[in-house]
Structure 1
Amino acid sequence: MFIHRYVTEGTFDSYSWQLIETKQRFISQVMSGKAPSRSCEDLDEAVLSYGEIKALSTGNPHILEKVQLETDVTKLRLLKSSHVSQRYRLEDMLLLQYPQQLLERRQKIGAIEKDIPRRDANTPEDRELFSMTVMGREYTDKASAGAELLALCQAVVQRGEAMEIGSYRGFAMRLEYRAMEQAFVVGLRGAAVYFAELGTDVQGNLARINNALNGMEAHLKKLTQEISEIEKQQENTRQELEKPFAQEQELAEKEARLSAVNALLNIDGKNSIPDLMDDTLDIEPPQRAAKDYER
């Protein structure tokens, strides 16, 4: 089964297909949800009026100009609507998103700057010295402390919730099981919280915990770089907001021309009387026949 569509050049077909194209664009916008417009209008006003049919039948060239202008104006209005929607999004980013991101990072920087002295004050100069408190008991042997951490992992699963397990290098330790990641994680809480994911190796777990605390300076550097990048984005957004709609003048000119063409075609039909005759006939009103009445 085949569907054949025919279009005849130089006929009314071009206008009919233009209406179908506009209607399909309208449907696609609604179905995709990507159109920036808040509302879409149906095509009732685009249906040919008597004036347009008259213009077609008389070969008026303005009807083709009207079709092209309607297409151009529709596209330009959609572009402007997208521009306005983009401005709203940029304004939200400038007024809400960027300030919130900067605040969060500056707060983290402040917390890390407090935690670095805490960590250093509780770190022995001799790296071989070790002390970790687990469930109220102080461990000076790394292997024993690591084994106790692994044993507590099973306790966390059985309890079904995170638990405070002790302290290390001046930071409180909290053990939790993240079901989505299927991982056991130790959180070391000071002014900020630093996380270390545990494995099955005793010595490896202690190394991960130490790396989380020793990585404060690197984290501080990363946050500083992020702040610099966000500030650049802020400036770029301000510059973008200062840009007007590039086709504003073109849209205004084509809307004005479309209004003029519609007036020429008498599209609105106001104060118009169809020209049923090219020439008017001068017809004398009928004279009343004079009659003499005999009294």
Structure 2
Amino acid sequence: MTSKTPVRVAEDVDESSLSYAEIKALATGNPLIKEKMDLDNEVTKLKMLESNYKSNKYKLEDKVNKIYPKNIENTEKLIKAVEKDMVDVEPLASGENKFTSLSLGGNTIYDKKEAGEKLLEEIKKLKINESKVIGKYRNFDLEASYNFMTNTYTFKLKGQAEYFGEFSTSPDGNITRLDNAIDKMNLRLEKLKQNLESYKESLENAKVELKKPFEKADELREKTLRLAEINKLLDMGDVEELENDSPVLEDLKRAIIDYANYEFSESNSYEDFDKLYPDLKHIGLAYTETPNGNHSIQYEIDIEEKTWTQYVDNVAIRTESFVEEYISNSQAIKDMTEAIKMSSFDDLVSVDEEDLKQALGLEIDDDGNFYDPLAKDLDNDGIVDRYDNDFKDSDYFESTYDVEDNLYAREEKPSILGQISKFKSEEKKENTQEKSEKEQER
């Protein structure tokens, strides 16, 4: 229903029911038709499994190359930080209260009850959504925060690492909560070491999984080749299949309407497709302009040829086809349908800088505007760099359309059209003179 992989499949409970392929095969008496329909379904399922395999592989590659190494690196740094804090932390004092001291606003308080009361006064001064360091406790900076949405006061003890907790309304209780946060450092260290081992183990497992090939690759290849062979035997050409209102083509039309309704907040029905898109060779899915409005970007698909093309200023900068070797016509349409379902407007108007540079010689700046890197006049000689032989040296004043080395000494070179006009004029003059001489002889 959602077109996502992996899919759940259920066969018809009634074994006596006939599928469309079986009915058609019985009507025509050609067993190849049923085989083709079965292969279409099987190849589609195998391709979805292959797509799911590739998707998982890409995720694993991302984890192996980025996520797990980064997690391992961060966890190792955090372990060292907690170990350092466990060494640097000021131990609790001996006695009944086991309280050492608390520094607030530059004053050091040695009495636990007074320290709790002063701390409560200090945190109540915090403004809405404010966070600031208000003192120091057991060699850690004490940062307090107030969250207006939850109406809570929280603290953060900052050493090499950070330790969090929530204040209460009890003066003595707040000191105890600070101590509890510090006392849990050993539990946190143990948890971090467990996480580190887990990340390392996951990294090794992911590397092993990446080496596994797609299990049904041979089966997919064989059935794809057989399907192509049957299509050739049945002579099921592209034109015939496009002219029929096939279910896969209807699915493609529905996907286009759904895309347009979602991206442009429209409410067109599927019956409006032919009216909205009368030309199947040019179905525009996206159009926009660069932020400065100087260039247009357009994306369209060609259902007949099964291609997509991206244009900049009405110039095709990239075109790709859904038709591949051993891929049936219906499968190509299905691939187009899936591509549209997974695409967004932003995806379709996103221009690749290499495509843009190769097709139009333009580049993209940080604001998303296109510009010609050679449209400037770096040497201020009055000639755009694209037509300037040496745009880095203002003393050398020659462009690609200059004839002589010296601007002031160069002769004007007549254009091709001018040369043709001059030749015709001279030829006409000679013909007139020749005709005049003949009349004089007469």
User: Does the residue aligned with 1:101 lie in a helix, a strand or coil?
Assistant: helix
Give the corresponding residue for 2:237. 268
Q: Is structure 2 residue 164 aligned with structure 1 residue 195? A: yes
CA distance in structure 1 between the partners assigned to 2:160 and 2:202 by the alignment: 29
CA distance in structure 1 between the partners assigned to 2:32 and 2:111 by the alignment: 94
Q: Is structure 2 residue 118 aligned with structure 1 residue 148? A: yes
Q: Percent identity?
A: 36
Equivalent AA in structure 2 for residue 241 of structure 1: L
Match of 1:229 among 195, 198, 201: 198
Cα distance change on mapping 1:215 and 1:268 into 2, 3 Å: same
Give the corresponding residue for 2:213. 244
Q: Is structure 2 residue 30 aligned with structure 1 residue 65? A: no
Give the corresponding residue for 2:70. 100
User: Does the residue aligned with 1:157 lie in a helix, a strand or coil?
Assistant: coil
Greater share of helix residues, 1 or 2? 1
CA distance in structure 2 between the partners assigned to 1:259 and 1:237 by the alignment: 36
CA distance in structure 2 between the partners assigned to 1:106 and 1:73 by the alignment: 47
CA distance in structure 2 between the partners assigned to 1:117 and 1:139 by the alignment: 23
CA distance in structure 1 between the partners assigned to 2:115 and 2:145 by the alignment: 17
Give the corresponding residue for 2:57. 87
Give the corresponding residue for 1:162. 131
User: If the length of structure 1 is used for normalisation, what is the TM-score?
Assistant: 0.69
Gaps of 5+ in 1: 1-24, 37-53, 271-295
User: If the length of structure 2 is used for normalisation, what is the TM-score?
Assistant: 0.47
CA distance in structure 2 between the partners assigned to 1:68 and 1:114 by the alignment: 66
CA distance in structure 1 between the partners assigned to 2:220 and 2:140 by the alignment: 64
Give the 5 Å matches for 1:1-295. 28-29=2-3, 34=4, 58-120=28-90, 123-126=92-95, 128-157=98-127, 160-268=129-237
- Deviation for aligned residue 1:85: 1.0
User: Does the residue aligned with 1:175 lie in a helix, a strand or coil?
Assistant: strand
- Deviation for aligned residue 1:68: 0.4
Q: Deviations over 1:233-271 (max 9, x none)?
A: 11111121111111111111111111121122122389x
Q: Deviations over 1:120-173 (max 9, x none)?
A: 4x5445563531111222111111111112112221136x52122111111111
Gaps of 5+ in 2: 7-23, 240-442
Determine if contact 2:92/2:98 at 8 Å carries over to the other structure. Answer: no
Determine if contact 1:55/1:265 at 8 Å carries over to the other structure. Answer: no
Equivalent AA in structure 2 for residue 173 of structure 1: L
* RMSD of aligned Cα (Å): 2.4
Alignment: residue pair count? 221
Cα distance change on mapping 1:148 and 1:99 into 2, 3 Å: same
Cα distance change on mapping 1:225 and 1:180 into 2, 3 Å: farther
CA distance in structure 2 between the partners assigned to 1:181 and 1:90 by the alignment: 39
- Deviation for aligned residue 1:69: 0.4
Determine if contact 1:56/1:63 at 8 Å carries over to the other structure. Answer: no
Equivalent AA in structure 2 for residue 82 of structure 1: N
CA distance in structure 2 between the partners assigned to 1:86 and 1:128 by the alignment: 55
Determine if contact 2:85/2:161 at 8 Å carries over to the other structure. Answer: yes
Larger RCO, structures 1/2 (Cα 8 Å, 6+ apart): 1
- Deviation for aligned residue 1:184: 1.2
- Deviation for aligned residue 1:58: 4.5
CA distance in structure 1 between the partners assigned to 2:222 and 2:150 by the alignment: 59
Q: Deviations over 1:36-90 (max 9, x none)?
A: 9xxxxxxxxxxxxxxxxx9886421100100000010011111101111110011
